[in-house]
Amino acid sequence: MVEFLSSYQIPQVFENCSSEFTLKDSKYANCVTPVGSSPCELLKLHDAKNFRKYFLATVPSILSAFAVIFNLIFGTATLILWRNNKLSSKQRYAFLMSRTLSTVLALILYYIVLIAWKSSGFEYVSATIFILIASITFYTHSGTYLGMTTILYMAIVHPMQHRRFVTITRCITAICFIWLVSIALSLCMGLLGATLFYPETAPIKCPLSSCQKPFAITVVCLLSLFFVVVISFYAIMLYRMHQRQAKMRRNNTDKFLSQNVRSMNRLAFNMVTFATASLPILVVTIITTVNLESLASLGLGNKSSCKTYENGHLFWKVEVLASTAAIVWVLTMILDPIISCYIDISYRKALIQMWKRTKTETL
């Protein structure tokens, strides 16, 4: 390849970029290099394209397959144990099933985005679905952990009220409300958020100064609020539960004490995965808002080689942010059902018994 390039007349603008230049880069020879930029640096577009190919498409799609399998197994096993009354808390697992449903639907939508991307490129509809996936997962999971924390708090601190008020019907009603609010907020974020990248083809007109900026700031504030509320609520409830634990310890209620400690440890693991999955989404929205004007320029005008070349550093930034968020997001979706199975001893025992019984019946 090097010998071939030596016989090929490299455009003058790229004479010092032999390590970055390829034959396909000849189309950038007549493009204007922005002030303060180096042609060699802009040719590193290849890195961005390769990064996108592997870390935004290939790696997340492979991980997503495992995430779908694990979540479907967890959901199916939970439904079977639910029907056989083998679950330690149907209220808690109602919220976990909501999380599983959210995860599977999000991953299916993710595959739809990948198919659309490969067939017709990344368009307004694809960008809308991509934003919709991230936001609906964030909101439904936030609601799930708020609900689970409330249930655990009531069970430990107010056990009588828990038996009286925390019914499965009320939990399902709360889950439906969480989904309605999540879908409404996510649709708004997806439809308006995609106009940032495709303002000229979007069916909704959203000018940068009067619409996109206020909307972006609102989204950052809303996501930050949800994130802080969920984590803070858990921290406050944990403090109250520890106070209750101390009182129970003085009363020598060792059996309930150990059960409560296990329950709090379960929720702590789930909260760690929630924070890990949500933080990249929050960081991406903050960085997008800070660089709003620069990113908005990517969606203006028709696609062209020169436009891609001149905005190479922006494309690189977008690819890295989106890829990092996608990989972390999918990894936590794999870990969620595994953690839920591992840390719930009664659930694990029920699964083992069901497996042994199924194995015996088939022999």
**What does each of the 363 residues of the chain score in pLDDT, given as a tens digit?**
444 445 456 787 877 777 777 777 788 888 887 777 778 777 766 666 666 777 777 888 899 999 999 999 999 999 988 988 888 788 889 999 999 999 999 999 888 888 877 776 667 888 888 889 889 999 999 999 899 888 888 887 788 888 888 899 999 999 999 999 999 999 999 998 888 877 777 888 888 888 888 988 998 999 899 899 888 888 888 787 777 767 766 665 555 556 666 777 777 887 888 888 888 888 888 888 888 877 777 666 666 677 777 777 777 777 777 788 888 889 999 998 998 888 888 888 888 888 888 777 665
Specify the number of domains making up the chain.
Answer: 1
> What tokens were used for 358?
């199924």
Q: What is the DSSP letter of 251?
A: T
Separation of alpha carbons 61 and 289, rounded Å: 27
In the prediction, which pLDDT does 153 show?
83
Cα separation of 108 and 122, whole Å?
17
Do the domain assignments include residue 283?
yes
Structure token digits, residue 145: 């952990």
The helix (H) or strand (E) run that includes residue 294 is helix 292-296
Residue with tokens 């639910």: 82
pLDDT at position 4: 44
Let me know the angle formed at the C-alpha of 262 by 261 and 268, rounded to the nearest 5 degrees. Answer: 90
Is position 134 within any domain? yes
Q: Does residue 110 sit within a domain?
A: yes
Q: Indicate the pTM of the whole model.
A: 0.82
How many CB atoms lie under 10 A from the CB of residue 251?
Answer: 9
Residue 265 belongs to a domain: yes
- pLDDT for position 2: 46
Q: Is residue 49, in this structure, part of any structural domain at all? A: no
- Is 225 domain-assigned? yes
Burial of 249 (0-12, 13-18, 19+ CB in 10 A): exposed
Domain-located, residue 12: no
Residue-range definition of the domain harbouring residue 227: 89-346
Give the pLDDT of residue 19.
Answer: 74
b (16+ CB within 10 A) / e for 340-362: bbebbeebeebbeeeeeeeeeee
Those residues with Cβ within 8 angstroms of residue 300's Cβ, 6 or more apart along the chain or in another chain: 199, 200
Torsion of CA 20, 24, 27, 30, to 10 degrees: 30
Q: Give the residue among 39, 89, 206 at the shortest CA–CA distance from 97.
A: 89
**CATH code of the domain in which 327 resides:** 1.20.1070.10
User: 1 vs 4, 9, 13, 25, 43, CA distance in Å?
Assistant: 5, 14, 20, 14, 17
- At 257 the pLDDT is 56
What's residue 129's pLDDT? 87
Amino acid identity of 32?
V
Tokens of 295: 């990113």
For residue 34, tell me if it sits in a domain: no
